[in-house]
């Protein structure tokens, strides 16, 4: 096995220069690259990090291991954009190179303060390799030339009392006179929880403030990547409760990404007021570790990792893995359901309507927009060789079942389904990007996201009973 502990933990400066070039050559041959989703130039991508608006641009970092399609020593790759759609790699990553982040610059967030951007992240350090971890919560300042300077000392040197070494992923936000950092934690009883620290200045003085009371203790054994967001003034908390009990919270992926909507939050008691039940943020195959922000333009924006922890993908052998979802805008409907839609700027890559007919070959970058016939069993299928992605909607129009048969699962059909309890499925927007799909049901009331590692170079579209079908070609932006 190529991936020895030594290679997985090798300092970035110790990799031979030609490793990246080798991977690039190999990746050029891939049939599975994306067109308008963020992907890596080489190596693995996981969580979105440091999503922010600063210095007149959008900034988005991601967890990366550039030296192969596996979870090695993590750094932050830095992307910038003027419109949340066209992204460019800045080429100045934050890499693990201090004694407080030696084994990985793990996930974290960013906040713009005056003419600088502050990054708060978890420095992973193995005290005993792969057994005893010591998490540091670290800080760094980034200037307007995108140069990052790490603080010399950690902001939080140890987990709080009663918390194990699973303590990470700080989300820093400002409220009133304080900065708050929300962190995912595991208690010594091996229960997941979310805790808050606070300080009056961002680059020091951080103190434990409180556990966040979310009205639910089904957070499994570890809650990763918490985000407290506000939509129309209401708190929306997103997080990843690893090992959450499936009896009260249904999910089919190895680890879920969940959310709770509340009326308000009491900042004194750190309690969500009238919290909803826990729901899945996305009901597809590959979506995790979402990060959101309250943007200065008033929108609540979110993007997630296209991928799951503890999972291998067929692209690993090509030397790359993972992507980021399109940026989504969040809103709430009258019943406080979370609505997710692609950011409005996505319109700018629509290349105009295609001549749409049953059995057509669709472009690898396509938007497939369909209305459901309420009196029949509707089906929409993308096929490529022996692989397919099929969406079945029952004639009662309350249930949608997604079937995936691709090269990932030895040719088995895997399914995910969603059911609407009140209301019917009326319309779907399927964003296809070669091997990535994002489905938005009823204008974003439910989403299903994942990979489709098809065989074959042609993607064909067939349907039965659908009331209206419109295919639009999308631009291939070749982001990496
Ligand atoms: C979630 C996660 C985070 C951690 C990061 C490491 O996918 O496990 O909790 O900070 O990935 O890459």
Q: Would you say residue 396 has pLDDT above 90? A: no
107 in contact with ligand 1, CB cutoff 6 A:
yes
Residue minimizing CA distance to atom 1 of ligand 1: 289
Looking at the structure, do residues 453 and 410 belong to the same domain, yes or no?
yes
Atom of ligand 1 nearest to the CA of 71: 12
- Looking at the CA of residue 288, tell me the nearest atom of ligand 1: 7
With a 6 Å cutoff on the Cβ, whether 46 touches ligand 1 is yes
Spacing, Cα 96 to ligand 1 middle (Å):
14
Report the relative pairing of strands 427-433 and 365-371 from DSSP bridges. Answer: antiparallel
Q: What is the pLDDT of residues 328-354, one digit of tens each?
A: 999 999 888 999 999 999 999 999 889
Q: Which atom of ligand 1 is nearest to the CA of 63?
A: 12
In this predicted model, what pLDDT tens digit does every residue of 271-292 receive, in sequence order? 999 999 999 999 999 999 999 9
Same domain, 275 and 364: no
Q: Quick check: is 261 in a domain?
A: yes
DSSP codes joined into one string, 47-94 = EEEEEEEETTEEEEEEEEETTSSS--S-EEEEEEESSSSSEEE-S--B
Mean per-residue pLDDT, 431-437: 98
Q: What is the pLDDT of residue 395?
A: 84
Going by pLDDT thresholds of 50, 70 and 90, the confidence category of residue 402 is: very high
Quick one: pLDDT at residue 410?
A: 72
What tens digit of pLDDT does each residue of 114-172 get?
Answer: 999 999 999 999 999 999 999 999 999 999 999 999 999 999 999 999 999 999 999 99
Tell whether 14 and 88 lie within a shared domain: yes
For 172, 251, 302, 305, 329, the CA distances from 299, given in Å and listed in that order, are 18, 28, 10, 20, 7
- Report the residue count for the chain: 480
Residue 354 and residue 282 share a domain: no
Above 90 in pLDDT, residue 408? no
- What are the tokens at 153? 């000392």
**What helix, strand, coil percent values describe the chain, rounded to 5?**
5, 50, 45
Q: Does residue 396 or residue 116 have the better pLDDT?
A: 116
CATH number, domain containing residue 389: 2.60.120.560
Instruction: Evaluate whether residue 239 is within a structural domain.
Output: yes
Q: Whose CA is nearest to atom 9 of ligand 1?
A: 224
Q: Could you tell me if 235 and 312 lie in one domain?
A: yes
Ligand 1 contacts CB of residue 63 (under 6 A): yes
The two three-digit tokens of residue 183, written as one number: 């962190």
Both 261 and 224 in one domain: the answer is yes
Q: Are residues 359 and 337 in the same domain?
A: no
Ligand 1: does its nearest atom lie under 6 Å from the Cβ of 224? yes
- Shared domain for 253 and 114, answered yes or no, is yes
Q: What is the pLDDT of residues 227-273, one digit of tens each?
A: 999 999 999 999 999 999 999 999 999 999 999 999 999 999 999 99
Of 322, 342, 362, the last residue of a domain is 342
Is 315 a residue whose pLDDT tops 80?
yes
How many other C-beta atoms are found inside a 10 Å radius of the C-beta of residue 413? 11
Question: What share of the chain in percent tops pLDDT 70?
Answer: 100
pLDDT at 411 over 80: no
264 in active site: no
- The rounded Å distance from CA 259 to ligand 1 centre is 18
Domain that holds residue 354: 350-474
Domain contains 235: yes
Residue with tokens 């996981």: 46
In the predicted model, what is the mean pLDDT of residues 438-447? 97
Kindly give the distance from the C-alpha atom of residue 188 to the centroid of ligand 1, in angstroms, as a whole number.
20
Summarised one tens digit per residue, pLDDT across range 17-31 is 999 999 999 999 999
**Does 286 sit in the ligand 1 pocket, CB within 6 Å?**
no
In a domain, 479, yes or no: no
Q: Check whether residue 448 and residue 301 sit in a common domain.
A: no
pLDDT tens digits, residue range 455-477? Answer: 978 999 999 999 999 999 999 99
Q: Residue 210 falls within a domain, yes or no?
A: yes
Q: Is the pLDDT of residue 397 over 90?
A: no
Lowest mean per-residue pLDDT among 55-59, 96-100, 339-343, 419-423: 419-423
Mean pLDDT of 430-436: 98
Between CA 429 and CA 280 the distance in angstroms is 19
Asked if residue 332 belongs to a domain, the reply is yes
Which among 289, 320, 298 is positioned nearest to 449, based on CA atoms?
289
Task: Report the C-alpha gap between 154 and 66 in whole angstroms.
Answer: 25
Q: Which of 342, 374, 397 is the last residue of a domain?
A: 342
From the list 61, 59, 63, 34, the residue with the least C-alpha distance to 46 is 63
Please report the atom of ligand 1 found closest to the CA of residue 169: 10
Closest by alpha carbon to 367, among 426, 438, 282? 438
Q: Per the structure, how many domains does the chain have? A: 2
Rounded Cα–Cα distance for residues 24 and 277 (Å) = 45
Among the three residues 302, 319, 342, which one is the final residue of a domain in this structure? 342
List 47, 101, 169, 363, catalytic entry: 47
368 shares its domain with 316: no
ipTM for the assembly: 0.99
CA 256 to ligand 1 centroid distance, Å: 13
Q: Which residue has the higher pLDDT, 410 or 438?
A: 438
Specify if 258 maps to a domain.
yes
Q: Is 6 helix (H, G, I), strand (E, B) or coil?
A: helix
SS3 4: coil
Which pLDDT score, from 0 to 100, does residue 21 have?
98
Cα(280) to centroid(ligand 1), Å:
19
Tokens coding 61: 């970092």
Q: How many Å apart are CA 306 and CA 309, to the nearest integer?
A: 10
Instruction: Give the pairing of strands 399-405 and 387-393.
Output: antiparallel
Listed as own residue / partner, the contacts of 158-166 with beta carbons closer than 8 Å and 24 or more positions apart are: 159/135, 159/185, 160/185, 160/195, 160/208, 161/208, 162/187, 162/188, 163/187, 163/188, 163/195, 164/188, 164/190, 165/132, 165/133, 165/134, 165/135, 166/133, 166/135, 166/222
Strand partners, 137: 122, 156
Two structure tokens written together for 53? 């608006």
C-beta 122 within 6 A of ligand 1: yes
Residue 315, classed as helix, strand or coil, is helix
Mean pLDDT (the chain) is 97
Classify residue 480: in a domain, yes or no: no
Mutate to test the pocket of ligand 1, among 50, 107, 226, 241 (most ligand atoms within 8 A of CB): 107
Q: Is the CB of 168 under 6 A from ligand 1?
A: yes
pLDDT value of residue 412:
85
- Residue 263, domain CATH: 2.115.10.20
Q: Do 27 and 146 have their domain in common?
A: yes
Residues 188, 110, single domain; the answer is yes
């Amino acid at each position: 096995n190529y991936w020895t502990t030594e290679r997985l933990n090798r300092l970035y400066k110790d990799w031979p220069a030609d490793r990246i070039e080798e991977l690039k050559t190999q990746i050029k041959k891939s049939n599975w690259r994306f067109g308008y989703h963020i992907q890596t130039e080489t190596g693995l991508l996981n969580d979105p990090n440091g999503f922010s608006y600063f210095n007149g641009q959008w900034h988005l970092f991601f967890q990366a291991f550039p030296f192969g399609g596996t979870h090695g020593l993590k750094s932050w790759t830095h992307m910038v954009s003027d419109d949340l759609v066209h992204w460019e790699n800045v080429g100045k990553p934050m890499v693990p190179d201090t004694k407080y982040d030696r084994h990985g610059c793990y996930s974290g967030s960013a906040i713009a303060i005056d003419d600088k951007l502050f990054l708060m992240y978890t420095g992973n350090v193995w005290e005993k390799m792969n057994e005893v971890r010591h998490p540091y919560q670290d800080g760094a300042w980034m200037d307007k030339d995108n140069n990052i300077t790490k603080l010399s000392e950690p902001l939080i040197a140890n987990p709080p009392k009663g918390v194990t070494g699973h303590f990470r992923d700080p989300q820093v936000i400002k409220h009133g006179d304080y900065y708050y950092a929300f962190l995912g934690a595991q208690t010594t009883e091996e229960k997941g929880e979310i805790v808050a620290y606070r300080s009056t200045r961002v680059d020091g003085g951080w103190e434990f403030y409180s556990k966040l009371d979310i009205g639910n203790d089904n957070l499994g054994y570890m809650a990763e990547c918490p985000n407290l967001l506000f939509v129309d003034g209401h708190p929306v908390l997103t997080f990843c409760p690893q090992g959450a009990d499936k009896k009260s919270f249904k999910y089919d992926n190895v680890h879920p990404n969940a959310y709770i909507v509340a009326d308000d939050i009491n900042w004194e008691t750190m309690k969500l007021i009238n919290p909803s039940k826990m729901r899945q943020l996305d009901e597809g195959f590959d979506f995790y570790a979402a990060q959101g922000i309250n943007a200065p333009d008033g929108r609540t924006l979110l993007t997630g990792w296209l991928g799951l922890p503890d999972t291998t993908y067929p692209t690993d052998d090509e030397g790359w893995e993972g992507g980021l979802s399109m940026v989504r805008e969040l809103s709430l409907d009258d019943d406080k359901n979370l609505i997710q839609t692609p950011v409005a700027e996505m319109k700018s890559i629509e290349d105009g309507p295609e001549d749409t007919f049953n059995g057509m070959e669709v472009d690898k970058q396509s938007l497939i927009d369909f209305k459901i016939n309420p009196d029949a069993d509707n089906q929409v299928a993308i096929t490529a060789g022996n692989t397919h992605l099929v969406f079945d909607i029952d004639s009662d129009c309350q249930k949608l079942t997604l079937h995936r048969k691709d090269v990932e699962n030895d040719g088995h059909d895997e399914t995910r389904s969603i059911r609407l309890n009140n209301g019917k499925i009326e319309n779907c927007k399927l964003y296809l990007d070669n091997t990535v799909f994002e489905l938005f049901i009823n204008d974003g009331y439910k989403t299903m996201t994942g990979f489709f590692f098809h065989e074959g170079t042609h993607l064909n579209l067939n349907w039965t009973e659908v009331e209206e079908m419109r295919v639009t070609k999308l631009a291939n932006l070749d982001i990496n």
